[in-house]
C-alpha cells in the first residue's frame, strides 16, 4: 500500500500570554491511498488543530513549530502561501461540522461550487463549471439538482447543506478529504446517510479520508485504521480491528467502555474519571496519568511509542520495558 500522507513529529503550539500550549505535540501517523483514517479522542485533545495543521490554516497565536507533513512525497511545510492555496481545494479539501463555515450565505450553492472549479481551473468556461456543479449536486443525493443549484444555503435543511459542502469539497476530485466531525450536528438518520454517501464517493473518486470524530461507533463503522488522540499526542494507532478487539492504552479502554453498546445490558455507562485539562495544565510525563487507574511511578516520565503487534503502536509504560 502506498502512503498518501505522512505526518512526522508534528508540533503545533499556541503561544499564549500565560504560556505555551502544546496542542499537537510530536504527532506521527500516515494515511494510505484509498483509506479512511479515523482520528478519535475527547474534546480538546488536538484533533482539529492536527487537521488545520495539514491544511496550513492554524489560527494565530498558533504556529507549527516542528515536524514534516509529507503529501504525495512533498513536505507541505515547505510550500509557499500560493502553492498551499492551490493545493487546498484541489488536492486536499476539508469539510466541517457546520457547513456555514464554508458556504457563503449570499451566493447560490451552484454558484459556489462552480466558482470552486474556475478558481483552480480558469480554462474551464462558466457554463461547463455550472454543468459540473449540477452533476455533483446530483451525485451527493440532492433531489432536483438543476433547481437546487439556484438555491441559497439558508433555503436548505442541515442535511442538504452538509451534502452541498461535500459536493464543493469533492468537485475538483481531491486526493485527500479531511472531514472534521461532519455529522455531529445531524440527527442519526441523516448522519447514517451522509456516512454512506462519503464511503460511496470515496470509492468512486478514489480519495483518502481523514475522518475526525469523538464518536467511536462511527470510527468502527467506516475507518480502516485509527489513531487515538489524547492531550496533543496520538497515544495508540492501529488498524480498526486491533484497536477494537485488542485495545492497549488505558485511555482507549476508557473510550471503548464509555461507548453505548446494544449487546450489553448495563444500566449506567462508564465514563473516564475527570476531564481533559486545559492545554497549560497537563501533568509532566504521560499526559493521561492523572485520570488513569493503571498509573505507576514510571508514568512521571513520558512513555515511548512502541509497536506491540504489527502496525499497532501504543504510547504507554505498561507496554515498554
Ligand atoms: N485559536 C486557539 N487559541 C488557543 N488555543 C487553542 C486555539 N484553538 C485550539 N486551541 C486549544 O488547542 C487544544 C486542541 O484543540 P482542538 O480544537 O484541536 O481540539 P479537538 O480535539 O478538535 O476538540 P473538539 O472535539 O472539541 O473539536 C485545546 O486545548 C484548545 O483549547
Ligand atoms: Mg475539533
Mean pLDDT is lowest, of 25-29, 124-128, 193-197, 244-248, for 193-197
Within a domain: 298: no
Within a domain: 316: no
**Cis amide bond preceding 61, omega within 30:** yes
What are φ and ψ of residue 36, in 5° steps? Answer: -105, 115
Residue pair 169/196 in contact (Cβ under 8 Å)? The answer is: no
**Final residue of a structural domain among 173, 199, 227:** 173
What are φ and ψ of residue 190, in 5° steps? Answer: -65, -40
pLDDT at residue 101 in the model: 83
Residue of minimum CA distance from atom 14 in ligand 1: 46
The CATH number that applies at residue 260 is: 3.40.50.300
Within a domain: 320: no
> Is residue 114 located within the same domain as residue 16?
no
203: Cβ contacts below 8 Å, ≥ 6 apart: none
Q: How far is the CA of 101 from the centre of ligand 2 (A)?
A: 13
The three grid cell numbers given for residue 165, joined into one nine-digit string: 459542502
Q: Does 67 sit in the ligand 1 pocket, CB within 6 Å?
A: no
> Is residue 119 located within the same domain as residue 239?
no
Q: Does 277 sit in the ligand 1 pocket, CB within 6 Å?
A: no
Q: Does 47 sit in the ligand 1 pocket, CB within 6 Å?
A: yes
Residue of minimum CA distance from atom 10 in ligand 1: 23
Point out which residues pair with 211 in neighbouring strands: 38, 179
- Is the model's pLDDT at 267 over the cut of 60? no
Nearby residues for ligand 2 (ion, Cβ within 5 Å):
47-48
Determine the average pLDDT of the residues in 271-296.
92
> Is residue 9 located within the same domain as residue 57?
yes
What are φ and ψ of residue 319, in 5° steps? Answer: -115, 10
Determine the average pLDDT of the residues in 132-161.
94
Determine the average pLDDT of the residues in 42-67.
96
Determine the average pLDDT of the residues in 210-232.
95
> Is residue 40 located within the same domain as residue 157?
no
> Is residue 19 located within the same domain as residue 34?
yes
- Is the model's pLDDT at 224 over the cut of 90? yes
- Is the model's pLDDT at 6 over the cut of 90? yes
State how far Cα 259 lies from the chain centre: 20
Within a domain: 108: yes
pLDDT at residue 293 in the model: 93
Within a domain: 309: no
Within a domain: 305: no
Q: Does 214 sit in the ligand 1 pocket, CB within 6 Å?
A: yes
> Is residue 186 located within the same domain as residue 60?
yes
Mean pLDDT is lowest, of 59-73, 178-192, 256-270, for 256-270
Atom of ligand 1 nearest to the CA of 232: 14
Residue 261 confidence class, pLDDT cut points 50, 70, 90: low
> Is residue 27 located within the same domain as residue 110?
no
> Is residue 7 located within the same domain as residue 44?
yes
> Is residue 208 located within the same domain as residue 169?
no
> Is residue 25 located within the same domain as residue 145?
no
Torsion of CA 290, 294, 297, 301, to 10 degrees: -60
Q: Does 63 sit in the ligand 1 pocket, CB within 6 Å?
A: no
- Is the model's pLDDT at 22 over the cut of 70? yes
Burial class (CB in 10 A: 0-12, 13-18, 19+), 131: middle
Residue 270 confidence class, pLDDT cut points 50, 70, 90: confident
Count up the domains in the chain and report the number: 2
- Is the model's pLDDT at 130 over the cut of 70? yes
> Is residue 77 located within the same domain as residue 147?
no
Determine the average pLDDT of the residues in 85-91.
93
Q: Give me the residue label for grid cell 446530483.
A: 138
pLDDT at residue 258 in the model: 85
Within a domain: 97: no
Instruction: Print the domain residue range for 76.
Output: 1-91+177-293
Mean pLDDT is lowest, of 76-90, 274-288, 299-313, for 274-288
Within a domain: 136: yes
Q: How far is the CA of 45 from the centre of ligand 1 (A)?
A: 7
Atom of ligand 1 nearest to the CA of 60: 1
Q: How far is the CA of 126 from the centre of ligand 2 (A)?
A: 35
pLDDT in tens, 157-189: 989 999 999 999 999 999 999 999 998 888 888
Task: Using DSSP, state whether 276 is helix, strand or coil.
Answer: coil
**Final residue of a structural domain among 173, 192, 220:** 173
DSSP string, 285-298: SSTTGGG-TT--GG
pLDDT at residue 152 in the model: 96
Average pLDDT, rounded, for the chain:
93
Q: Does 99 sit in the ligand 1 pocket, CB within 6 Å?
A: no
Cα distance between residue 151 and residue 108, in whole Å: 5
> Is residue 86 located within the same domain as residue 4?
yes
Q: Does 48 sit in the ligand 1 pocket, CB within 6 Å?
A: yes
Amino acid at each position: 500500500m502506498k502512503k498518501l500522507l505522512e505526518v512526522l513529529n508534528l508540533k503545533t503550539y499556541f503561544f499564549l500570554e500565560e504560556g505555551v500550549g502544546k496542542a499537537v505535540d510530536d504527532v506521527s501517523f500516515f494515511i494510505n491511498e484509498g483509506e479512511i483514517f479515523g482520528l478519535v479522542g475527547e474534546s480538546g485533545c488536538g484533533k482539529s488543530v492536527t487537521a488545520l495543521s495539514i491544511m496550513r490554516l492554524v489560527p494565530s497565536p498558533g504556529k507549527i513549530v516542528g515536524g514534516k507533513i509529507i503529501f504525495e512525497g512533498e513536505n507541505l511545510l515547505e510550500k509557499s502561501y500560493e502553492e498551499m492555496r492551490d493545493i487546498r481545494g484541489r488536492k486536499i479539501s476539508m469539510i466541517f461540522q457546520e457547513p456555514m463555515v464554508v458556504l457563503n450565505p449570499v451566493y447560490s450553492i451552484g454558484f459556489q461550487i462552480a466558482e470552486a472549479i474556475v478558481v483552480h481551473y480558469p480554462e474551464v468556461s462558466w457554463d461547463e463549471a455550472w454543468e459540473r456543479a449540477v452533476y455533483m449536486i446530483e451525485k451527493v443525493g440532492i433531489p432536483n439538482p438543476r433547481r437546487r443549484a439556484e438555491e441559497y444555503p439558508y433555503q436548505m435543511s442541515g442535511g442538504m447543506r452538509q451534502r452541498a459542502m461535500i459536493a464543493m469539497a469533492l468537485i475538483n476530485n481531491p486526493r485527500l478529504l479531511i472531514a472534521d466531525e461532519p455529522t455531529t450536528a445531524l440527527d442519526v438518520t441523516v448522519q447514517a446517510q451522509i456516512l454512506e454517501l462519503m464511503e460511496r464517493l470515496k470509492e468512486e473518486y478514489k480519495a483518502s479520508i481523514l475522518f475526525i470524530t469523538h464518536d467511536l461507533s462511527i470510527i468502527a463503522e467506516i475507518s480502516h485504521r485509527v489513531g487515538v488522540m489524547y492531550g496533543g499526542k496520538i497515544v495508540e494507532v492501529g488498524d480498526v480491528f486491533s484497536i477494537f478487539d485488542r485495545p492497549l492504552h488505558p485511555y482507549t479502554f476508557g473510550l471503548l467502555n464509555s461507548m453505548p453498546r446494544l449487546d450489553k445490558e448495563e444500566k449506567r455507562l462508564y465514563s473516564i474519571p475527570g476531564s481533559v485539562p486545559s492545554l497549560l495544565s497537563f501533568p509532566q510525563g504521560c499526559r493521561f496519568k492523572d485520570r488513569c487507574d493503571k498509573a505507576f511511578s514510571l508514568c512521571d516520565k513520558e512513555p515511548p511509542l512502541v509497536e506491540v503487534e504489527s502496525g499497532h503502536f501504543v504510547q504507554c509504560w505498561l507496554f515498554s520495558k
